[in-house]
Structure 1
Amino acid sequence: MEQNQFILVADIGGTNGRFAVAGRPGNDIVLSHQATLPSSGADSLLTLTRQYLGQLPPALSLSGACLAVAGPVNEQGARLTNLGWDVVIAQMQAELELPRLLLLNDFAAYANSVPLLADADIRQIKAGEPQTSAPVLVLGPGTGFGISSLQPQGNGYRPVACEGGHMALAACNELQDAVVRELRKVHGFVSVETILCGPGLVNLYRALAAVKQQIPVFDCAADISCAALDGSNPLADETLSLFCRWLGQTVGDLVMAHGALGGVVLGGGILPRMLDFLKASEFIEGMLDKGRMSAYLQSVPVSLAMKSDTALTGAAAWWCHNA
């Protein structure tokens, strides 16, 4: 992005679409005209984007757009998994009359922003000794479960997206076996995202209630989390504890799959609100419980990014390196 050039950037998730205009008056990326629109208020990415563009000053000239979307992206377009929207880059670029349009996975954009975070925005969850030549894994629960790796490239990193949130959920003990059986009754295929996200926390709570033969009293993830964090409901506490251990198990699996000995950065919108609970949980035990491969994971550091709204900056940075 050249100085005095402005582009449209967006982070489109299953719940909201966040938009901004990105500029680079100096070396830093500056965002302006930020707005959040409900994804449910549109029938396509084109419609949602037009809603935002209609709010901008008519005199503002855009050199292009870089949109981060929640779903798999290829050279031709993207599929927004939780919205069911299909996007063809060439068609959307023509409809919006933009000189250039780039798409990337939303969690790849988020991962792309992680190296730009200040030290004050990072909390350590597990100490370790990262290998600087190895990938860094960035993942976390939000509306879904996002995963991206940062591959070392020159003096920096290049984000590589994947769809690991949709891989099968692995059960490692009898309780987890029983929970997965309950989940399978409702969902058929049980993926990581079935439990490790906001809606997934509700799924986990209901399945655990069925296993424990208890009556669930909460209907939303926020109520379950609050009841667990304030200690007012034992089933909610056990649900969130199981959530954290299962998250650790999944992190360990993904580190081994990606060779991510450069470390792990947790993100997403859920974990920063439960930092102390996470640190006191069995997250690390779950991560390291890998039999003879436990030593492989022992030196991998894990941190938590406290800011979950930086994908717009990551999208602008992607434009700077790829436009």
Structure 2
Amino acid sequence: MNGKSNPARLGWSFDVEEYKNAFGFEEVTMLNDQEASAYGIALLQDSDLDAIYSSGHLEKGNVAILAPGNGLGEAGYFFDGKYLRPFATEGGHSEFSPRTNVEVEFYQFLNNIYGIVSWENVLSKTGLFNIYRFLRDVKRHPEPEWLSEKLTNANGNFTEEIFKAAVEEDVLICKIALDTFLEFLAREANNLTLKLKATGGLLIAGDIPQIIRQYIDKDKFYEKFKISDKMEDMLKNIPIYLINPDSTSIDGAALYAAYYKE
């Protein structure tokens, strides 16, 4: 905002005027990471997109971008009638809402930890571990001793360990955790798509989809995504793609620096 940023997760402060003065730059611009990713997506080839659902033709309209990783990035493209124009949001910090009795229990579990429970507390690397430990500590799903040791020594890489245990060792608690995460991902994808009226499509980026790609049931995700009280006719025709490369933010920042001016 106004050339300044204080990302809570980093604990750093940024000011474009300081960079101008320190390095003698004519112009300095800061981009939201997911906005930068949106610019970088413009450089992708068709082979970089993995279809979860495609209706066979692309509708014109806004496009939504959902990216769970260390946090939950949400952005979009506004379709101006000719071009798609990237913009940032902070939708990942909007409040999570439970739907079922078990999800109310999950919400209460997170509420005791965070106070306000955002979607980022659910759809991020920490969020996946929150789901896992709710299943372990509240719902009392058994945790193998060897897995407990791995998670203790994971250095924060919980996603990889939960994924490996689910796929390679068929550990039930890990499979339920991933299934729950993907259901929540489909639901927030639905929310974002409706709020942006993203008839042009939904793009799913971020570290977590890359890590758990092998586990994603595309048909099941699509069925969960299109559930709505009145908008199913719109949602069921929206194409959904997984983005393969993980360098779109860096590429987008370089593209912006090369071609765009304030």
The reply to whether TM is greater than 0.5 is yes
Q: For residues 207-257 of structure 1, what are the alpha-carbon distances to aligned partners after superposition, in whole Å with 9 as ceiling and x for unaligned?
A: 122332235533522211211222431001100010001000000011111
For residues 29 and 182 of structure 2, the distance between their equivalents in structure 1, rounded to whole angstroms, comes to 35
Counterpart secondary structure, 1:264: strand
1:269 equivalent in structure 2? 207
- Is 1:294 the counterpart of 2:232 in the alignment? yes
CA distance in 2, matches of 1:170, 1:130: 31
User: How big is the shift at 1:201?
Assistant: 1.0
Q: Is the 8 A contact 1:229 1:274 kept in 2?
A: no
| Corresponding residue of 2:71 | 144
In structure 2, distance between residues paired with 1:215 and 1:81: 35
Ranked by relative contact order (alpha carbons within 8 Å, sequence separation 6 or more), the top structure is 2
Task: Provide Cα deviations, 1:156-201, integer angstroms capped at 9, x if missing partner.
Answer: 3221100000011122222222211111122221111102111211
SS of alignment partner, residue 85 of structure 1: coil
Aligned to 2:260: 321
What corresponds to 1:309 in structure 2? 247
Are residues 1:94 and 2:94 paired?
no
Separation in structure 2 between the aligned mates of residue 281 and residue 259 of structure 1, nearest angstrom: 22
Structure 1 154/81 Cα, relative in aligned 2: closer, same or farther at 3 Å?
Answer: farther
Match among 160, 168, 174 for residue 236 of structure 1: 174
Structure 1 equivalent of residue 40 of structure 2: 113
The structural deviation recorded for 1:317 is 1.8
Instruction: Determine whether 1:251 maps to 2:178.
Output: no
User: Does the 8 Å CA contact 1:288/1:297 hold for their aligned counterparts?
Assistant: yes
Quickly say closer, same or farther: Cα 1:322–1:279, change in 2 above 3 A: farther
TM-score, length-scaled by structure 1? 0.72
Q: C-alpha separation between the residues in 1 aligned to 2:246 and 2:83?
A: 21
Task: Check whether the contact 1:231–1:237 (CA below 8 A) recurs between aligned residues.
Answer: no
The residue identity in structure 1 corresponding to 2:111 is R
Maintained 8 Å contact 2:3/2:30:
no
Which deviations, in whole Å up to 9, do the C-alpha atoms of 1:113-132 show, x marking residues without a partner?
A: 11210111110011235421
Distance 1:145 1:96, change over 3 A: same
CA shift at 1:145, angstroms? 0.6
Q: Are residue 160 (structure 1) and residue 124 (structure 2) matched?
A: no
Query: Structure 1 stretches (4+) deviating beyond 6 angstroms?
Result: none
Distance change >3 Å, CA 175–CA 231, structure 1 → 2: farther
Cross-structure match for 2:155: none
Tell me, yes or no, if the aligned pair for 2:53 and 2:218 is still in contact at 8 Å.
Answer: no
**CA distance in structure 2 between the aligned counterparts of 1:170 and 1:322, rounded to whole angstroms:** 39
Q: Give the match for residue 30 of structure 1.
A: none
> 1:278 maps to what in 2?
216
More helix by share: 2
In 2, the alpha carbon distance for the partners of 1:281 and 1:257 equals 23
Does the 8 A contact of 2:67 with 2:74 survive in 1?
yes
SS in 1 for 2:232: helix
1:213 — aligned with what?
140
Alignment of 1:192-203 (within 5 A): 192-203=119-130
- State whether structure 2 residue 68 is matched by structure 1 residue 131: no
- The whole-number CA distance in structure 2 between the counterparts of 1:281 and 1:197 is 22
User: Alpha-carbon deviations, 1:44-86, whole Å to 9, x = none?
Assistant: xxxxxxxxxxxxxxxxxxxxxxxxxxxxxx2322222311222
Q: How high is the sequence identity, in percent, across the aligned residues?
A: 25
- Displacement of 1:288 in angstroms is 1.7
Distance 2:9 2:219 in 1: 30
Whole-angstrom distance in 1 between the partners of 2:208 and 2:231: 29
Does the 8 Å CA contact 2:159/2:208 hold for their aligned counterparts?
no
Q: Give the whole-Å Cα distance in 2 for the aligned partners of 1:156 and 1:207.
A: 44
- Which runs of 5 or more residues in structure 2 are unaligned? 153-157
Q: Is 2:120–2:127's contact at 8 Å kept on the other side of the alignment?
A: yes
What is the identity, as a one-letter code, of the residue corresponding to 1:90? E
| Mapped partners of 1:208, 1:159: distance in 2 | 38
Aligned pair count reads 249
Kept after mapping to 2: 8 A contact 1:136/1:260: yes
Choose 113-122 or 249-258, whichever is displaced more.
113-122
Whether 2:46 is the aligned partner of 1:122: answer no
